[in-house]
Chains A and B, each alone.
Chain A
């Protein structure tokens, strides 16, 4: 039975102490203004040290349960209590291990951090488990990144050990060669046809941490620089997609909480740690400590730091990503994902083209507005078709059909098969974005499980105003929003999820927060659509002027035989978009075949190039995986 990785794993590794965290509960970080190397570096190291200190302080001498791998790693990183750490390791290693690749990379970190601190007995205890414990390699790219990066480093740490000393019956040399081959292959994919599990709210840790470890500890100079370059790549991608440190826009994997409260994600830890521009989530996102223990070995490039922090100019980026592997019921192994990202000071609009990309936790498009403090705020708007299908799950997983839908709930994905879900992609959704206009069209068969469209209306919107024109106007922060459902609708309270105590799997209770909660615009029609336009408050005299401008724009649509829209946007673009056809802007067809890996003012990479140019102002960094070189320059 498998194995739909639960987000709770993030908590599982991170059983964090429950006392205050200075950065999480304190005031918002002051936006960085001093970009000098020394100032950035000292602040970065101070943040890492805050994490380590928090974990070190969490150890209670009379409670061994508070002294786990994270506390061990934190103490080793600070070179404290080596004897006690060693003794605790021997104790922890004396029982059967679990957690697969989530076991591998923490203990790899401990092994390296403790090379010159741990007792021979402690080292042997860890090493012994690499023979007797059989961790699974998993079924996602993040699993494999953790698995192979860990295996690579451990086989370098014990370079000459024979096959019978490893759980998989392969010698150190065999493991090292296989791990390197996979990691190079994966980097090739990501740097030629795009990142899988792109822009995840949580899973960035599962990629960034193994890359940091390679950059820190790999002996092979090729793997060392590859780790460094890929970490730069990931952080540049994060920086491009954050608004004041908060990851927004579409992603391959998020969850029911983070899709609303965009800040509440591990990605915010990375923004905090690397860019200093948002608070970290509780327990530093769970995985934060595993970055922090080696953070001193990495320096955030100034060009990426500035990219994350400078929102003084609007920018439009187009990125190419890819879906998870589709094992069956699909003509393609991986679906290209064509992302559009329009970033402004007050809000950001992001999308990809829709369709079936990733199985459970995809998020296709949204408008997210800037807020002074993102904690607890649901600063986003979007719509989805709540698609659930056993066969779609079988596309990605090797499972039999019938149990999967029900099982997902007990495995930590409570919303997969509910009609009011707000997470996931659909084969019946097509999306087009031009700057700050998004059109989502739906052609959902009548016999679909849930032939309806759910529009998300946040508790944090103000002035929500259904208009006789058919538009619904609203305001979020300094952003005016116009939402146009293309079919009749009604309002429902969006129920939340409360996890209940359970010894066997996950159990959930739905929570109705009433008028104080979020609302769902429910449009129970298969042939359907949503149009959203956004603008800064400062662009109009007042809210009424914004509404008048929207009303004045020509808009024609019909829903049969397939949904089609012709409209002029607030930016004066003439858009024609029909479900299943290439969108047109000012009469010109969008040609996704020409989409580059990255294209925009800040990130540029040709498809297939293995070469990313990061630009911010006059600063430029080129990551060239063909030559394995990093080139910095200041343009004239």
Chain B
């Protein structure tokens, strides 16, 4: 559901993407207009990777319900997806899958692998957080400090600088754990769901959040304290937020009501950039690739791409798709 720009455990502090091999650009796309459970519609959904020729290549299972994907940083054949069924894991690059949870966990919203403890997988679900320390062979709930009610968890994001330091975007705010989810504490209170959390690829102390009714937030101290961007309207839900991996000054927000909002001064000012997007520019998600091209998934339309950070837009491929996540995946350690 968002651009998750790094998962390399060895990277701590400022990172130069330019010096690293080009990361893979992966999206989750559902191309299933008006699909309802039980439909006879057969379309190809799930994971897509942009190949060298620029085409989107599907891989993995055909699942209309994927909301997030994460990879083992040591071996990209180990893939985890968050889906309606829960957590899926593949050990062979998507050829075969195992549903890792039983009936007691469902409707996973997000998944993350700890880059500094890559056997540890965090799963955001509709009623809390589950953790595996054995590559999802087993999952246990770790919710100490989350409220009894109000722990609907939409986003989970791991601090790449320290094992076991994780932020969760919940219905009642942002929660932080520093001991691998043994204990959680609330660091930001919200009355509606926190839809997205992102750690800066440029400075790991900087975090962003997109919320349903509290606007867009920034933390400059590793997610401990948060402040709203004054230039971002808060009266409508913001769906996701992203950094430009190529330019630390550039940020973008995707939203139904505003389309694409961008900032080129680290969030001091924001402008809507929807010229060339169709209709009411109802943007589902935004993302950016390693070169700084900005992408917008437009509801009921297709994927759009901009080479000038939203000043102009052109249609990409995947007509009728909704993209739930843009993922820049650094090459595997091995």
Task: List residues of A whose CB falls within 8 A of some B CB.
Answer: 1-6, 9, 12, 96, 98-102, 134, 136-139, 143-144, 148, 163-164, 167-170, 178, 181-182, 185, 327-333, 391, 394, 398, 400-403, 407, 410-412, 504-506
Contacts and interface: CB of A to CB of B under 8 A. Distances in A.
Contacts of A170: 98-99
Contacts of A9: 36-39
Interface string B95-107: 0111100110011
A331 B149 contact: yes
Contacts of A5: 36-38
B299 A327 contact: no
A327 B40 contact: no
Contacts of A101: 37-38
Interface stretch (B61-69, B179-187, B227-235): B61-69
Contacts of A178: 102-103
Contacts of B67: 398
A291 B70 CA distance: 43
A139 B37 contact: yes
Contact of B99 (A12, A168, A327): A168
A410 B35 CA distance: 10
A228 to B, nearest CB: 22
A24 to B, nearest CB: 24
A402 B322 CA distance: 14
Contacts of B83: 136
B32 A1 contact: yes
B256 A100 contact: no
Given A1-B35, A328-B171, A504-B33, A400 B239 contact: yes
Given A164-B96, A398-B126, A137 B84 contact: yes
Contacts of A136: 37, 63-65, 83-85
A102 B237 CA distance: 34
Contacts of B193: 328, 394
Contacts of A2: 36-37, 65, 84
B301 interface: no
Interface of B: 30, 32-42, 61-65, 67, 83-86, 89, 96-99, 102-103, 106-107, 109, 126-127, 149-150, 152, 171, 192-193, 195, 212, 236-237, 239, 256-257, 282, 284, 299, 322
A403 B84 contact: no
A327 B127 CA distance: 6
Given A136-B64, A139-B84, 12 more contacts: A1-B30, A3-B35, A12-B38, A100-B38, A134-B63, A137-B84, A143-B37, A168-B97, A182-B103, A328-B126, A398-B126, A402-B282
A412 B36 contact: yes
8 contacts: A2-B36, A137-B106, A168-B97, A169-B96, A170-B98, A328-B126, A391-B192, A401-B212
Contacts of B212: 401
B126 A411 contact: no
A381 B67 CA distance: 43
A143 B85 CA distance: 12
Contacts of B106: 137, 139
Contact of B126 (A12, A99, A327, A504): A327
A400 B322 contact: no
Nearest to A390: B237
B84 A138 contact: yes
Contacts of A327: 107, 126-127, 152
Nearest to B46: A134
A139 B106 CA distance: 8
Contacts of B84: 2-3, 136-139
Contact of A411 (B36, B282, B299): B36
Nearest to A135: B85
A138 B237 CA distance: 26
Contact residues of B: prevailing secondary structure = loop
A95 to B, nearest CB: 8
Given A1-B30, A136-B84, A329 B171 contact: yes
B171 to A, nearest CB: 4
Given A139-B84, A164-B96, A402 B38 contact: no
Nearest to B126: A327
Nearest to B44: A96
B121 to A, nearest CB: 16
Contacts of B32: 1
B322 A1 contact: yes
Given A136-B64, A327-B107, A400-B195, A102 B38 contact: yes
B40 A98 contact: yes
Contacts of B152: 327-328
Contacts of B284: 400
Contacts of B103: 144, 148, 178, 181-182, 185
A181 B97 contact: no
A328 B33 CA distance: 26
A397 to B, nearest CB: 9
Of A102, A169, A398, A411, most B-chain CB atoms within 10 Å? A398
B37 A330 contact: no
A3 B239 CA distance: 19
Contact of B34 (A181, A185, A505): A505
A181 B102 contact: yes
Nearest to A403: B299
B124 to A, nearest CB: 10
Given A400-B256, A402-B237, A410-B34, A139 B107 contact: yes
A631 B189 CA distance: 55
A96 B195 contact: no
Contacts of B257: 402
B37 A98 contact: no
Nearest to B103: A182
Nearest to A10: B38
A328 B150 contact: yes
A361 B109 CA distance: 25
A190 to B, nearest CB: 15
**8 closest Cβ pairs, A-B complex:** A169-B98, A505-B34, A328-B152, A402-B256, A182-B103, A168-B99, A102-B38, A327-B126
Interface centre among A98, A391, A400 (most CB of B within 10 A): A400
Contacts of A137: 84-86, 106
Nearest to A402: B256
Contact of B33 (A4, A143, A144, A505): A505
A398 B86 CA distance: 13
Contacts of A164: 96
A138 B62 contact: no
Contacts of B282: 402-403
A394 B127 CA distance: 13
Given A181-B103, A328-B150, A398-B126, A98 B42 contact: yes
A420 B152 CA distance: 33
Given A99-B38, A327-B127, A394-B193, A332 B99 contact: no
A12 B322 contact: no
A336 to B, nearest CB: 16
Nearest to A401: B237
Interface centre among B37, B85, B102 (most CB of A within 10 A): B37
Nearest to A407: B34
Given A398-B126, A402-B282, A12 B97 contact: no
B40 A100 contact: no
Contacts of B42: 96, 98
B109 A134 contact: no
Contacts of A182: 102-103
A301 to B, nearest CB: 30
Contacts of A331: 149
B38 A398 contact: no
A487 to B, nearest CB: 32
Nearest to A502: B34
Contacts of A330: 149
Contacts of A134: 61-63, 97
Contacts of A143: 37
